[in-house]
Amino acid sequence: MKKLIAGNWKMNGSLAANEALLSALAQGLAVDQPLCDVAVCVPAPYLAQVHALVSSQPALSVLGLGAQDVSNQASGAYTGEVSAAMLRELGCRYVIVGHSERRQYHGETDAVVAGKVQQALAAAVTPIVCVGETLSEREAGQTEAVVKRQLAAVIHANGHCISEIVVAYEPVWAIGTGKTASPEEAQAVHAVLRAQLKAATDQAARVKILYGGSMNASNAASLLAQPDIDGGLIGGASLKAPDFLTIIAAARA
């Protein structure tokens, strides 16, 4: 299957910075069109701007637009929330769901994450479902139990269409720290997730499993060479056009 490289801008950007970044990406993509799927998941206030910029520049037509969060409710009195239908109307093809920062800082439970996945799928937006363990959980030998529990909640709530999701393994201890799971460590967890998906659906081969813990220009190729790593969820490196383009190029191999 085609690999997927998805940038997560987190709470970064400005109107001017976004335009400059996308312009630099356009120059690179015009020279070297990717053989993988590419997405940028941007802060909600900038979705309309980025959608307009992507739509107006032919070289950026390969970029899928993504959001960073979605409500687990379809509509109603939920001040500050953004529904999946709204994201779809703004041109979003993807939305990140259950990122560890949402779980840690906003108290999102496995059940809440599963509900958000449900809403995204109902609106035909592909959820990038994040799972991953903390450093203390890894040191306690709980990595497999934690990621399987997190994914099981999503499978239980969305079993009939689970093959429509993307999964991102993001060891919490490797996010924004500069630490990265070795290719072998990452592959071991990806293999566990692949087996869990195969047990849930005969369409498991359609599900991309991304690695999301400090993948960057220097380590992308070795991570992407692993048999069960189908792409990357890229944080800081997605804000630097040369680095993001290098990672995209590594996904071609």
pLDDT value at residue 3: 97
What's the mean pLDDT when you consider all of the chain? 95
| Percent of the chain scoring above 70 in pLDDT | 100
How many Cβ atoms from other residues are within 10 Å of residue 128's Cβ?
Answer: 29
Catalytic residues: 99, 170
Q: What is the pLDDT of residues 139-191, one digit of tens each?
A: 999 999 999 999 999 999 998 899 999 999 999 988 777 777 899 999 999 99
H or E element that contains 248: helix 241-250
**Predicted pLDDT of residue 22:** 98
Query: Residue 253 has what pLDDT?
Result: 58
Instruction: Write out the DSSP string of 143-176.
Output: HHHHHHHHHHHHHHHHGGGGGG-EEEE--GGGSS
Other C-beta atoms lying within 10 Å of the C-beta of residue 80:
5
Beta bridge partners of 130: 168
**In this structure, are residues 135 and 97 in contact, taking their beta carbons and an 8 Å threshold?**
no
Report pTM.
Answer: 0.96
Per-residue confidence band for 109, with pLDDT thresholds at 50, 70 and 90:
very high
Residue 42 has pLDDT above 70, yes or no: yes
Q: What is the mean pLDDT of residues 34-51?
A: 96
Neighbour tally for 34: CB within 10 Å = 18
pLDDT in tens, 206-238: 999 999 988 999 999 999 999 999 999 999 999
Helices 110-122 and 143-158 cross at an angle (nearest 10°) of 40
> In terms of C-beta density within 10 A (0-12 exposed, 13-18 middle, 19 or more buried), how is residue 52 classed?
exposed
Give me the domains of the chain, ranges plus CATH numbers.
4-250 (3.20.20.70)
Q: Residue 252: pLDDT band by 50, 70, 90 thresholds?
A: confident
Distance (Å, whole) CA 99 – CA 235: 12
Q: What is the spatial distance between Cα 233 and Cα 170, in angstroms, rounded to a whole number?
A: 8
pLDDT band of 30, cuts 50, 70, 90? confident
